[in-house]
Structures are given as structure tokens and as C-alpha cells.
Structure 1
Amino acid sequence: MTRLRIALLSYSTKPRGGVVHTLALAEALAATGQDVTVWTLGRSGDTGFFRPVDPAVQLRIVPFPDGPPQETVGERILRSIAVLGDAFEPFSAAYDIVHAQDCISANAVGGRCVRTVHHIDHFTTPELAACHERAIVEPYAHICVSAAVATEVTDSWGIRAAVIPNGVAYDRFATTDPAARADWRSGLGRYILTVGGIEPRKGSLDLLEAYALLRTAHPDVRLVIAGGETLFDYRDYRARWENRATELGVEPVVLGQIAEEDLPSLVAAAEAFAFPSLNEGFGLAAMEALAAGIPLVVRDLPVLREVFGPAARFAATPHDLATELGHALTTDNPARQAAGRDLATRHTWDTAARSHLDFYRALLSATPRSPVGTSSR
């Protein structure tokens, strides 16, 4: 078959879910023989991604210097769109497929792109709200990583999206170094882990409340929070979280961004993994925990029911979350663990890449009036 020239666009070099997805998909597409380039913004002097990238993938990291101290989030979003768009424009005709993974990169390239809608956001910042809206209605084709999100897109915008689930780096999380796991346990003791930082969408305040309840029966278990690199300013939310932790008399361990090579052993050394997000499209970090064989407790959302089914425990409230985390700590359930590992093994990036290729080729062969995955309005 004809080798495709594919541009995948993201907004950052940091380890957020969409960026992790972009790199893994790019490498899997390149492994099938495609000509793949990843475009992104290099913020604050970044000249590379948070991890090494297969040399088969070409990288275009567009310099994006820090703005003035008084720059607002909205102004930074608009500047991001302009800088990435200006850099990409001279090269746009070189690609058969231009595929944006977020609202910033979709706005930078306009309606010429395929768009993966990872989840639906509800922004109050006017520039972000407009960015989000345009990034859904303007692209000519759409992919979602779960059927639940695809249904939201159809119900809200009348747009039909293809569903292509994420992959997971199964071996990387399933076969970690015993010494590295022991080091984490030695330093942290028994712990519940969450990955994604402290922010509203991740349900951080609810997890804090649940942890305070959990400590009544499990005073030796710590809550460890990793990750959290973000474009947005969550200082007010973080201050509320810290004040509430003081009121509750709990002291979670906040690790911040973890080196890529250290993350699998940190996950594999946990007693349980908490994923109380209020809004998700798939739950890649939670799938990685299943690959590591770690008991998983997630927010009771339709999308997470769809993705994780019998492999996870579900909780709707902080009280429920504390209860289910307690069960995860004390109730050995080999059947659920086996279901989790089996689920993770079935989500491969090779499968995701081949589904994307089928989708791309269908788009390229379709008539302009009826491209796959376009608006049904």
C-alpha cells in the first residue's frame, strides 16, 4: 500500500495523557512503514519530549518562549495557536493526513485536520471555550477514544466520530524491576497512588476526603500523588486542596512530575490505584495500573464503566471511594486482577495504529461530500 505522510500535532512536550497518546501512536504508525512527523510546542525552552522518541518518527518542536508575567491563560492559548499555526503552515501541503490531538493544535491548523476528541471539557475562560468549540466543529473528521465520548459528540454537535481506543505499553508496566519497586516501598511504605496531579478534573478534593476517611481503618497507608504538568493555572484549587488537607489532618505525598523511567515501578509498587476523575475519555493511567496488576478504583462514570468493566471497582462519592479503596487494600480478588491484566493486554498501540490507518485511508478515498466521521448535520 501507499506510504502515508502523516502529521500528528500536540500542544506540549510534557507527559499529559494526550501527549503520551500522540507519541505512542506516532511510533506505532511509523512501525507500519508510514512517514510520521510529530509537531508540538517547546514551552519554556524545551527542545525534546519528556521521553526519548523512536528515531523513525520525525520531530518538529516549535520554540514557544514564556510570555510576560501578566499574560493570562486566555492570552497564552491564543499565542500558542498562532505560534504553532504559523510554523506549520509552510509544511501543511506535504502531508496526506493532518491529525490534531487537542484544541490548541486543531485551532492552529483549522478545518483541514482530523481531530481526536479525548474528552469533552467545559471551560469558563472565553478564549478556551471558543478554542474548544472550534476544535470540534471545524475539523473534517473525528475520532474518539471511547464510545461514551463519541456519543457526547453526537448528542451535542451532531457529529459522527469513529471510536478507536487507546493502547497501553503493557510490558513496560507488567514487568518492572523488583529492586526499583522495593525502593519505592522502602521510601514511602504502603501507599495508594494516583497519577495526574492536583486539579479539578482529576477529582483531587474528593480523593483527599476519601483518604481522610480511609485512614481511620488504615492509618499506615499513605496517599501518593504523581504527575500534574499542565498548561492551566490551578493555584487557587491547589490552595483549597492544601487548606482542606490541613483541616483533615492528612499529609499526602506530592511527588510532582516523575521521570519516565521511574513511573512503571512507582505504579507497580502501589497497594491500589485511585482514579477519581470527574471527566475522562479513556483513562490511560488507570489502564497502566491494570497492566501492573494493581487493584483499581475509579469514579463511577459511563465512560469508565465502558472501558474497565469488571476489572475495576467503582465509586460515586468520597465515602464510596474510601470504602472501595479499603476493599482493594484488604480483599484479594485474583479474578479481578486477572481481568485487569487481560484487558490491558488487549489494548495495544499496534492495533490502535492499524485502526487509524484504516480510518485515514477511508478518508483519502472518500468523496468530498461524504468523508468518514464527519458531521451528520
Structure 2
Amino acid sequence: MRVALLTYSTKPRGGVVHTLALAEALARLGADVTVWTVGRGGDDGFFRPVDPQVEVEVAPLPHLEGETVGARIQRSIRVLGTAFADRTAAGVAYDVVHAQDCISANAVPRCVRTVHHLDQFTTPELVACHERAIVRPYAHVCVSAAVAVEVEAGWGLRPTVIPNGVEAQRFVEAAADPGASEPWRRRFGRYVLAVGGIEPRKGTLDLLEAFALARRTRPELELVLAGGETLFDYRGYREAFDARAVELGVVPHVLGPVDHAALPGLVAGCAAFGFVSTKEGFGLAAMEALAAGVPVLARPLPVLREVFGDHVRYADEKRSMAAALLECVERGPLPGGAGLALHHTWERAARSHLDLYASLSARPGAAARRRDRSGPDRPAAARGPGRPAGTGTTRPACP
């Protein structure tokens, strides 16, 4: 089976991590896999090495000074769509074209779409883009049942639920190797870690408030923030975060993206992992922390309760978050977390995807769908019932 997986970036964001790991697992099971992406600012490859069994196609997207977020997203769609159409016009055919986000779902005419989580947008240009990314694909995947329920409620669709895999062994090994985490502990001492950058969806300001309260009891704690590569402009939120940190007397260590090989040691070395996102599809970073034997604080979203059950501590406002952080630091992880992480393998996820692909190929009209999977984005698209463009209602997050 020949499969194209499309993603929006080469940077270490959750959807991109998912795409690469799924591609490699599919290839190990015998599929012929190509990953398509957009290379922003001169990137010609991903943030980590990719298994040579997987072909990689990067469509260059040069930086344009002063470009708005909306314009950058539209240009990303055009560039990826044109590159993909050129390749298919040259005779390359795929049995399945699977978009992992709304940018790539807009770039190709017909595809399977993974909806990782839903969010809200009000800009008409982006709302229309997001709507097309839901209604135009002919099949849908969600990585949790909670998000699948939201998609069904909003659009009347029935996504197939295939949970994420986790590269758990990397984090298990880091936890067992003192040398992996020792440089981070030497640098920061005892630290609370969050991965994903400083942005509204990650709830970083809430974590800052909770950390400041917890540090009144445990003044030796430091706050470390890793990751943060994004298409969006969160400068206003970052300025508010920085100002509030000064008011609270907290000096966070903001690392930005961390090298792929160094990340497990950073996670394994923390005293607690803060995962207080306001929207998530699965919680891959928190699952990695469980694999490393680290105690996790999570916001009690339905999706996170579904995925993590009783293996993490939950809190939803700054005082209860502070209390939960102190429990994490003082009492350690809850039982069974590492076992949960080890259960979520990429081989299991890849087999479920292959089963889905096979079922789609057996449906009436499958041959016509394959013939229609080339060409750049088409501006007109059907909308779901009762969902006019530009209403600002719940929409799939992009990316």
C-alpha cells in the first residue's frame, strides 16, 4: 500500500511528532510511505532524523517579512498543494492521502483527515479554511473519543478513534540512566517542567500562577519551559506572561525547542510535569512524562481524563494547581503511569491505520477517490449543515 502523510511543518510540534512516528511504524509494517511537509525559512528536513524507509518531500516556503498569520497559512496551502499536484501529475499515485492538520487538508482535493483537537477562531479567512478541512475529507480520524464526540456534535461526522502511539522506551531509558538527566538537574536543581511553549492553549499563565503559589512552600523549585515553535503570533500573550512573572518574582527558564535526543533527559529530570492545556487531542508530552516515571499535573479536560484516567493529578484553577504541584513534588508519581505509556505503541496505532485504509479502499467509489487525489487547493468547498463561513464557532485548530 502506498501512503502519503501530509503535515504542516518540520518543527517539533505534537502533530508533526505524530506524523513522523506513524510514518515510520507504517513503513516497518510494509507500507510504502511518503511524508509531505512545508519547509519554512529554509528548512529542508525535519527536526530529527527520519527512518530511511520513509520518503520525505519538503516544499520550500521562504520567509516573507511582515506576512500576516492568515497570509502565511494560505501561502503554505498553495505551496504544499502545488508541490503535491506536480508530483502526482508526474505519475506518482497513492492509495491513501492522509492529512494530519488543516493546512495539509486544504492543500489536497481529497484525503483522510486526522483531527487532533478543536479550537475557536473568529477571523473569516481562517474559519473558512478550517471548515473546509473538516467537511471536504472523505474520512476522519481522532486520537481520542472525546474529540470524536465533539466532531460528531459539530458536523454530524463519525471519526474513527485511533489513539496515539508513544515512543515510551526513549523516556524509560532516560529515567534509568542518571547521566541523561544529571546535566539538567545540575543546571536547574529541582524544577517543574512544561513542554509546548508559552501560548494560550497550553495554559502557561495558569501554570505560572500555580507555580508561584507552590514555591512559597518549596522555594527551591525552578520553572522550566521548553518547546514553543508555532505558526501563530503569541507575542501579546508572551508579554503578559513576562510581566506577570516579574510581578510574582518568578524567573522562568525559557529554553525554546530542545534537541530531540536531549528531551528525554530533560523530562526525566523534572520534579513535576505541568500539563494544564485548555485544549488537547491526546496529551503526547504528558504521556512521555509518565513513561519517564515523572508525576504529572493535568487540567481535568474530558479528553485528558479519558486518556490518563487515575495516573495523573488534576486541577483547574491556580490554588488547586499549586496544591497538586506540591503533591507531585513531595509524593511522586501515581501508580501505573509508565505501564499506560508503554501500552500506547506506534505499531498498534499503525496497524489500526492500515485496517482503516483497507476498509476505505473496499468502499464503493474508492477508485474515483484515488483518481481525484491530485492538484492544488480548490477555493470552493461544501459546508456542513448550519455552518456558514465566518461565524467564529468551534473549529479545528490550525495546525
Considering the TM-score relative to the shorter chain, is it more than 0.5?
yes
Q: Does 2:119 correspond to 1:121?
A: yes
Q: Which residue of 1 aligns with 2:293?
A: 293
Q: What is the correspondence of 1:164-313 to structure 2 with a 5 Å cutoff?
A: 164-176=162-174, 177-313=177-313
Q: What is the correspondence of 1:156-171 to structure 2 with a 5 Å cutoff?
A: 156-171=154-169
For 2:82 and 2:180, the matched residues in 1 are separated by: 44
5+ residue gaps, structure 2 = 369-382, 386-399
For 1:77 and 1:376, the matched residues in 2 are separated by: 22
For 1:206 and 1:232, the matched residues in 2 are separated by: 20
Q: Which residue of 1 aligns with 2:80?
A: 84
For 1:142 and 1:62, the matched residues in 2 are separated by: 25
Aligned partners of 2:135 and 2:384 also within 8 Å: no
Q: Does 2:352 correspond to 1:355?
A: yes
Q: For structure 1, which segment, 261-270 or 82-91, has the greater mean C-alpha deviation from structure 2 after superposition?
A: 82-91
Alpha-carbon displacement from aligned partner over 1:25-82 (angstroms, at most 9, x marks no partner): 0000000011000000011000110000000000001111012x22111111111101
Q: CA deviation at 1:251?
A: 0.9
For 2:87 and 2:153, the matched residues in 1 are separated by: 35
Q: CA deviation at 1:123?
A: 1.6
Aligned partners of 1:160 and 1:376 also within 8 Å: no
Higher relative contact order (CA 8 A, sep 6+): 2
1:94 counterpart SS class: coil
Structure 1 residues 201, 8: closer, same or farther in 2, change over 3 A?
Answer: same
TM-score where L is the length of structure 2: 0.89
For 1:346 and 1:31, the matched residues in 2 are separated by: 18
Q: For structure 1, which segment, 171-180 or 97-106, has the greater mean C-alpha deviation from structure 2 after superposition?
A: 171-180
Which one-letter code corresponds to 2:4 in the other structure?
Answer: A
The counterpart of 2:21, out of the listed 7, 21, 24, is: 24
TM-score where L is the length of structure 1: 0.94
Q: Which residue of 1 aligns with 2:138?
A: 140
The counterpart of 2:57, out of the listed 40, 56, 60, is: 60
Q: Percent sequence identity over matched residues?
A: 62
Q: Which residue of 1 aligns with 2:129?
A: 131
Q: CA deviation at 1:180?
A: 2.5
Q: Which residue of 2 aligns with 1:105?
A: 104
Alpha-carbon displacement from aligned partner over 1:295-322 (angstroms, at most 9, x marks no partner): 0110010000000001100111111111
Aligned partners of 1:298 and 1:315 also within 8 Å: yes
Aligned partners of 2:268 and 2:293 also within 8 Å: yes
Aligned partners of 1:29 and 1:36 also within 8 Å: yes
For 2:183 and 2:138, the matched residues in 1 are separated by: 49
For 2:269 and 2:190, the matched residues in 1 are separated by: 8
Equivalent pairs, count: 365
Which one-letter code corresponds to 1:259 in the other structure?
Answer: D
Aligned partners of 1:77 and 1:127 also within 8 Å: no
1:184 counterpart SS class: helix
Which one-letter code corresponds to 1:174 in the other structure?
Answer: V
1:212 counterpart SS class: helix
Aligned partners of 1:113 and 1:140 also within 8 Å: yes
Q: CA deviation at 1:234?
A: 0.5
Which one-letter code corresponds to 2:319 in the other structure?
Answer: H
Q: Which residue of 2 aligns with 1:341?
A: 338
Q: Which residue of 2 aligns with 1:150?
A: 148
Q: For structure 1, which segment, 160-169 or 125-134, has the greater mean C-alpha deviation from structure 2 after superposition?
A: 125-134
Q: Which residue of 2 aligns with 1:33?
A: 30
Q: CA deviation at 1:192?
A: 0.7
1:254 counterpart SS class: strand
Aligned partners of 1:210 and 1:318 also within 8 Å: yes
1:311 counterpart SS class: coil
Q: Does 2:71 correspond to 1:75?
A: yes
Which one-letter code corresponds to 2:50 in the other structure?
Answer: V
Alpha-carbon displacement from aligned partner over 1:348-369 (angstroms, at most 9, x marks no partner): 0000000000000000001239
Q: Which residue of 1 aligns with 2:361?
A: 364
Alpha-carbon displacement from aligned partner over 1:193-247 (angstroms, at most 9, x marks no partner): 1000000000011011101111110110011100000011111110011011111
Q: What is the correspondence of 1:2-13 to structure 2 with a 5 Å cutoff?
A: 4-13=1-10
Q: Over aligned residues, Cα RMSD in angstroms?
A: 1.5
